[in-house]
Structure 1
Amino acid sequence: MALDFIAGCIGGCAGIIAGHPLDTLKVHVQSGRGSPMECTKALLKGGTLSMVYRGVYAPLGGVAGINAIVFGTYKNIRRAMPDPDSLRSHAIAGGTAGMLQSFACAPVELVKTRQQLAKEGMPKGAWAGARHVLRTGGYRSLFRGLVITIVRDSPSFAVYFTAYEAMTRGSQSAMHVFAAGGIAGVLSWILFYPIDVIKSRIQADTTGLYKGSWDCFLKSVRTDGWRCLGRGLGAVTLRAFISNGACFAAVAWTERAWHKTLSGERLVKASTISESVIYDSAEYQYDV
């Protein structure tokens, strides 16, 4: 369990840092602020990366808890299954992990989304942003979009972990792990992307425009047409490949480093015991 937590935290941080600029672009496009090219120009207008990394502290601040839930739940449920190595077990474990992590992910993504869009003068920093939301909207406002986050993440994580497992059974090389993680991330996003669009719009709404997920869906389609459900898909596809490839590569590297360290300790201990046995033997004492 400790290894699952540590590897998940490192992998999650690597994925967030690698993919956050494209996530910021995705949120701006989803919110109707222009085409991907127009939003890109606006974000880079100042000549720095400060705007594209706006809101990064919220997911980084919550990544420890979220990835502990995801990887801890996923691996422990899979181990408890009658056939832990079957793809069905990976899908069930992944879906359960996605559902549970939504309770931590929903408020983190809400703060991140509003910071990325600079909503209501949102302050920088994860805790400062969360306190601002609580102060202006109360406890329930921090969990706005929770239900649709569960609807998105439970099946998404089932696809995510199952696809990764299926693609890495033949090879565990660094490049193969990166590519498999990236492709698994792309699949899980493409299949459920319209749900993410609605989630982003609900969490960005600070005026009470949408009464719920279904109301948001109807108003979005009525106002912007069906094409709005695919806005930003290009940016999110590229981000998903880079971010999830980096995440799984970091997780695999951490697990290998951990096992290598433990193997080295076992060899040292075995060598020490062997030397002790030789030194304490009657034959060695007789020679001395």
Structure 2
Amino acid sequence: MSEQPLPFIYQFLAGAIAGVSEILLMYPLDVVKTRQQLDTTGSYTGTVQTFKKIIKDEGFSRLYKGITSPILMEAPKRATKFAANDEWGKFYRSLFDVPKMTQPLAVLTGATAGATESFVVVPFELIKIRLQDKSSKFNGMLDVSKHIIKTNGIFGLYKGLESTLWRHVAWNAGYFGLIFQVKELMPQPKNSTEKTLIDLTSGAIGGTFGTMLNTPFDVVKSRIQAGDIKYKWTVPSLFVIGKEEGFSALYKGFLPKVLRLGPGGGVLLVVFTTCMDFFRSIQ
């Protein structure tokens, strides 16, 4: 028996609840990632060492500094990502007269959805980075927002848009493109348990590949949004970092990103499925 389809609002709510749950559990890894990406002195050289250093120097609560911004971002971000991916997929299939999705279309659709998503998330990302920076003197999200608008105007909230576009286009193209390919190679699921395992496997592989593609852009984005005037545009900044710190510096924060991806994906899946089952039960 097939599951009862639910209106979009229920999918939106389930995705938002799942996303917020994942953030509450996994957010410290994002703080660690940002610290490593902004570090040019070698002070934060490993994930465990970075955790210990932050807690010792600044207290445990610092691991949750700036969490309000991503929590507020989560619902519109997830709604935009998946809705845009679905709508752009329909558009491209119609444009190219293709009856069903193919891998090249999945890559193109994911990249376009990522670009669309960037316009929603960049102000939240900017505020989050400013709060996660060790040198930050801001008290909270509103304090950062007021300072940015007062200093640079309302469009100052879009500092780092270009690098955010690179980051999200690379991520979504790799993520959705590889998910499509992995599912094509795997056998058709015979029951809901097998489907869950296939979704979890393809999602983890796609997410890992997306992280491999977009981490250099993420490093640049973090530095641009932190306010370092040395970094203004993405491609020149990649060369500056590579020249001054070595190629490996472009992958600072990669390990905590991947560590967040695996368990975080499991949390998302479990909470999302639980919420959708609950919504079906009250229909």
Tell me which interval the TM-score lies in, with the shorter structure as reference length.
0.7 to 0.9
Please give the alpha-carbon distance, in whole angstroms, between the structure 2 residues aligned to 1:245 and 1:181: 10
Moved more, 249-258 or 150-159: 249-258
Distance 1:70 1:34 in 2: 32
Q: How many angstroms apart in 1 are the aligned matches of 2:234 and 2:170?
A: 17
Q: Aligned pair 1:241/2:257, yes or no?
A: no
CA shift digits 1:151-210 (9 cap, x unpaired) = 12113112212333444563453454344333322110012211111111111125x233
User: Aligned-pair distance for 1:53?
Assistant: 1.3
> Is 1:156 the equivalent of 2:171?
yes
Cα distance in 1 between the residues matched to 2:205 and 2:267: 12
| 1:181 paired residue number | 203
Consecutive unaligned residues in structure 2, runs of 5 or more = 1-7
**How far apart in 2 are the matches of 1:214 and 1:79?**
32
Contact 1:97–1:154 (CA under 8 A) maintained in structure 2: yes
- Mark the CA change 1:191 to 1:29 in structure 2 (over 3 Å): closer, same or farther: same
Alpha-carbon distance in structure 1 between the residues aligned to 2:72 and 2:221? 21
| 1:66 counterpart = 2:77 | yes
Match of 1:51 among 46, 62, 70: 62
Q: Residues 142 and 95 of structure 1: is their aligned pair in 2 closer, same or farther, counting only changes over 3 Å?
A: same
Question: Does 22-31 or 241-250 show the bigger shift?
Answer: 241-250
For the 8 Å contact 1:98–1:154, the answer to whether it is kept is: yes
- 1:6 equivalenced with 2:13 (yes/no): yes
Match for residue 239 of structure 2? 218
Larger Rg: 1
Deviation at 1:15, TM superposition (A): 3.0
| Preserved CA contact (<8 Å) 2:114 2:172 | yes
* Equivalent of 1:95 in 107, 111, 118: 111
* Cα-Cα RMSD: 2.7
Whether the 8 Å CA contact 1:181–1:245 is kept in 2: the answer is: no
Contact kept, 8 Å, 1:179 with 1:245, in 2: the verdict is: no
Amino acid at match of 1:261: S
Aligned-residue offset at 1:28 = 0.6
Measured after TM superposition, the shift of residue 99 of structure 1 is 0.7
Task: Tell which deviates more after alignment, 24-33 or 136-145.
Answer: 136-145
Residues 1:105 and 2:121 are matched in the alignment: yes
Q: Which residue of 2 aligns with 1:196?
A: 218
- CA distance 1:122–1:93, shift in 2 (3 Å): same
Cα distance in 1 for partners of 2:138, 2:201 equals: 36
User: Offset of 1:103 from its aligned partner?
Assistant: 0.8
Structure 1 residue 89, shift from structure 2 partner = 4.1
Aligned residues: 260
| Residues in 2 aligned to 1:137 and 1:148: alpha-carbon distance in whole angstroms | 18
Percent identity (aligned): 25
Paired position in structure 1 for 2:22: 15
Answer yes or no: is the 8 Å Cα contact 2:35–2:134 preserved in 1: no
CA positional deviation for 1:120: 4.2
Q: For the structure 1 residues 146 and 16, does the alpha-carbon distance in structure 2 shift closer, same or farther, using more than 3 Å as the test?
A: same
Aligned equivalents of 1:52, 1:219: Cα separation in 2: 29
> Does 240-249 or 111-120 show the bigger shift?
240-249
CA contact (8 A) 1:4 1:71 kept: no
Task: State the AA in 2 paired with 1:17.
Answer: L
State the AA in 1 paired with 2:20. Answer: C
The amino acid that maps onto 2:281 is T
Distance 1:87-1:225 versus aligned 2 partners, 3 A rule: closer
> Structure 1 length normalisation: TM-score?
0.78
Gaps of 5+ in 1: 266-288
Deviation at residue 41 of structure 1 after TM alignment: 1.5
Change (3 A) 1:245 1:89: farther
Cα 1:8/1:166, change in 2 over 3 Å: farther
SS in 1 for 2:62: coil
* Equivalent pair of 1:54/1:116 in contact (CA under 8 Å): yes
Q: What SS does structure 2 have at the residue aligned with 1:55?
A: coil
Q: 2:45 corresponds to which residue?
A: 35
- In the other structure, the counterpart of 2:4 is none
SS in 1 for 2:159: coil
TM-score (norm 2): 0.79
Contact 2:203 2:265 in 1 (8 A): yes
- Which residue of structure 1 aligns with residue 138 of structure 2? 122
